[in-house]
Amino acid sequence: MRYYLRTVFILFLSCPSFLFSQNETDYVISIDTGDAWEANIFYRKTGGPLRPVIILDSSGEELFSEVWPMQGNDFKVNDNNKITFYDLETNGWMVMDSLKNIVDSVYCLNGYVADHHDFLALENGHYIMFAYDLQPYAMDTVVEGGDPEAMVEGLVIQEVDADHNLVFQWKSWDHFHITDNQHLPLNTPVLTFIHANAIDVDYDGHLLLSSRNLDEITKIDRSTGDIIWRWGGTQSDISFVNDYPFTYQHSITSLGDNRYLLFDNGNYSSLYTGVENVSRAVEYVLDPINMTATKVWDFVHPDSLFCPTQGSVQRLPNGNTLIDFGNLSLSNLGAIVTEVTPENEIVFQLEYNFGASLYRVKKFDWFFYEPEVVRVEENLSLEVSPSRKLVKTLNLLGQEIIPSQGQIAIYIYDDGSIEKRFVIE
**Superfamily classification of domain 15-364:** TolB, C-terminal domain (2.120.10.30)
pLDDT at site 392:
85
In the chain, the amino acid numbered 295 is: K
Give the pLDDT confidence score for residue 25 in this predicted structure: 66
Q: What is the pLDDT of residue 355?
A: 94
In the prediction, which pLDDT does 371 show? 65
Amino acid 354 reads F
Compute the distance between CA of residue 209 and CA of residue 218 in angstroms, rounded to an integer: 5
Q: What is the pLDDT of residue 372?
A: 56
What b/e string do you get for 189-208 counting C-beta neighbours within 10 Å, with b at 16 or more? eebebbbbbbbbbbeeebbb
Task: Give the per-residue pLDDT at 410.
Answer: 83
Whole-number Å distance between alpha carbons of 150 and 310: 27
The dihedrals phi and psi of 178, each to the nearest 5 degrees, come to -55, -30
Residues 166 and 110 sit within 8 Å (Cβ to Cβ)? yes
Q: Give 10-residue mean pLDDT values along the chain (425 residues).
A: 31 36 71 98 93 97 96 98 98 97 98 98 98 97 96 98 98 98 95 98 98 98 98 98 98 97 98 97 98 98 98 98 98 97 98 96 94 46 60 78 74 80 60
Which stretch of DSSP H or E encloses residue 271?
Answer: helix 270-273
Closest CA relative to residue 338, chosen from 354, 304, 361, 365 = 361
pLDDT of residue 90: 97
Instruction: For residue 317, give the nearest of 363, 350, 368, 360 by alpha carbon.
Output: 363
In the β-sheet with 239-240, what is the strand arrangement from edge to edge?
239-240, 292-299, 280-287, 259-264, 250-256
Separation of alpha carbons 330 and 349, rounded Å:
20
Element (DSSP H or E) covering residue 401: none
Which residues in 333-362 are b (16+ Cβ under 10 Å) and which e? bbbbbbbbbeeeebbbbbbbeeebbbbbbb
Yes or no: say if 205 and 159 are a contact pair by the CB < 8 Å rule. Answer: no
Q: What is the pLDDT of residue 406?
A: 60
Which residue type does 412 have?
I
Within 10 Å of residue 309's Cβ, how many Cβ atoms? 16
Measured between alpha carbons, how far is 82 from 106 in angstroms, rounded to an integer?
Answer: 14
Domain locations in the chain? Answer: 15-364, 390-424
Q: Rg of the Cα trace of the chain?
A: 24
- The confidence score (pLDDT) of residue 400 equals 81
- Residue 425's pLDDT is 46
pLDDT on residue 48:
84
Task: Give the residue from 76, 122, 71, 69 showing the smallest Cα distance to 92.
Answer: 71
- Rounded CA separation 343/263 (Å): 18
Task: Determine the pLDDT at residue 422.
Answer: 65
